[in-house]
Amino acid sequence: MHLVQPVDGGVARVVTDLVRAQAAGGLRVVVGCPPGGRLADEARDAGAEVLTWRAGRAPGPGLPAEVLGAARLVRRVRPDLVHAHSAKAGLAGRLAVRGSLPTVFQPHAWSFDAVGGATAALALRWERFGARWADRVLCVSESERREGESEGIAGHWSVIRNGVDLDHFRPGRPDPEQDRAEARAGLPLPDGLRGDGPLAVCVGRLCPQKGQDILLRAWPELLGAVPKARLALVGDGPDGERLRRTAPPGVFFAGAAADIRPWLRAADLVVLPSRWEGMALAPLEAMACGRPVLVSDVSGARESLPSGQGRLCLVPPEDPTALAKALGRLLAEPRLLAELGEQARQHARTDFDVRRTADAVTGLYHELLGRPRPSNQERISR
């Protein structure tokens, strides 16, 4: 049973990919999640039984009811194993189960990174205490695991990196220039952004974590070096209205996209200036489409890039000036971008296949349950 609070964004996509692979492998898969968003429908289509678990994104006075709701789902489903995703489900799920069932907790970035002050201190205290009720703390990058250890979380650790569907995320055409031109022709870009200048694309929920405000502060400085550069922000979220009010010229807010591939393929460069991550999916998806990425040096970022690209494609978090300089260097060099994009495509296809990720997670389940894993032939026959 997957217990999940975020019903959109990267966590929801990770869970849907796991559900699809696990259901195809013969597991009975149940997802407990709040109504709304994309997760319920997509998990159901992927083969899961979906049950409603009412939970808010932030901790608060509703927590006791959320824990009771999680406990009711566990009693109803009677799963062999509970896999709790992200901070809220990790909190409520572990309190509901308290070691009575094998439990995997996957933080998808640490809760104490998302808040400050006394709230961060409380979140860290909980993570240290709650680790006793996780048979395995599953991190999506080595840096995420190291951060947990350095903060005193005494977990039983596994690291399984995120992956993407390489059949879904791939170049639309073999020639990158033709692929870009075709993708741009089909996008709802305003006339003012349809020029011949380079296009940077940022895909992510409009929220403090993803750092679009840092990118908007960097953009005017970037235009001094690359005057024809354009920027598209793809996604929506709680910061949308504020970001629109402060956006400089040359920035287009595309809103949420059911299919982000045309935006990735249209880009000369995909940028994600996050404040914190576990291992972000958008850069992996961009690389699988053959596009270079520029990311802030947070958890998982270095591990996601091809070897040797860190010097050009990593910037310090929360540093608009460094971001502007890196954008200027890259967007002014089309040949360099083409070379980095091809390296990124090969790297994604070699290292970030979601089938490998899902197989490793299912193998972890079998390990915790003390059961032998099915052989490859048994999995194929299913």
Report whether pLDDT(49) > 50. Answer: yes
Distance, CA of 305 to CA of 314 (rounded, Å): 9
Report whether pLDDT(381) > 70. Answer: no
Average the pLDDT over 251-276 and give the result: 96
Average the pLDDT over 130-140 and give the result: 96
Residue 377 pLDDT: 36
Do residues 46 and 23 touch, judged by C-beta distance below 8 A? yes
More confident position, 221 or 376: 221
Rounded to 5 degrees, φ, ψ at 270 are -105, 130
> Among candidates 138, 143, 111, 116, which has minimal Cα distance to 126?
111
Q: State what percent of residues in the chain have pLDDT above 90.
A: 89
Residue 19 to residues 44, 146, 238, 249: CA-CA distances in angstroms? Answer: 9, 28, 28, 42
Burial state string for 37-69 with b = 16 or more CB within 10 A and e = fewer than 16: eebbebbeebbbebbebebeeebeeebeebbeb
Report whether pLDDT(376) > 60. Answer: no
- CATH code of domain 2-163+353-381: 3.40.50.2000
Residue 375 pLDDT: 55
For the chain, strand residue ranges (E) read: 2-4, 30-33, 49-52, 82-85, 103-106, 136-139, 157-159, 199-203, 230-234, 251-255, 269-272, 293-296, 314-315
Q: Which CATH class is domain 176-351?
A: alpha beta
Give me the residue label for tokens 């492998």. 25
Q: How confident is the model at residue 382 (pLDDT cuts 50, 70, 90)?
A: very low
Other CB atoms closer than 10 Å to residue 178's CB: what's the count?
12
Same CATH fold assignment for domains 2-163+353-381 and 176-351 = yes
Report whether pLDDT(158) > 90. Answer: yes
| Angle, alpha carbons 200-291-179 (nearest 5°) | 90
Bridge partners (DSSP) of residue 136 are: 104
Q: State what percent of residues in the chain have pLDDT above 70.
A: 97
Report whether pLDDT(11) > 90. Answer: yes
Distance, CA of 132 to CA of 138 (rounded, Å): 14
Average the pLDDT over 36-60 and give the result: 92
Report whether pLDDT(289) > 50. Answer: yes
Computed over every residue of the chain, the mean pLDDT equals 93
Report whether pLDDT(115) > 90. Answer: no
More confident position, 173 or 193: 173
Average the pLDDT over 64-82 and give the result: 97
Residue 374 pLDDT: 60
Domain limits, the chain:
2-163+353-381, 176-351
More confident position, 62 or 314: 314
Residue 373 pLDDT: 63
Residue 285 pLDDT: 98
Residue 250 pLDDT: 86
Do residues 173 and 179 touch, judged by C-beta distance below 8 A? yes
Tens digits of residue pLDDT in 354-368 = 999 999 999 999 999
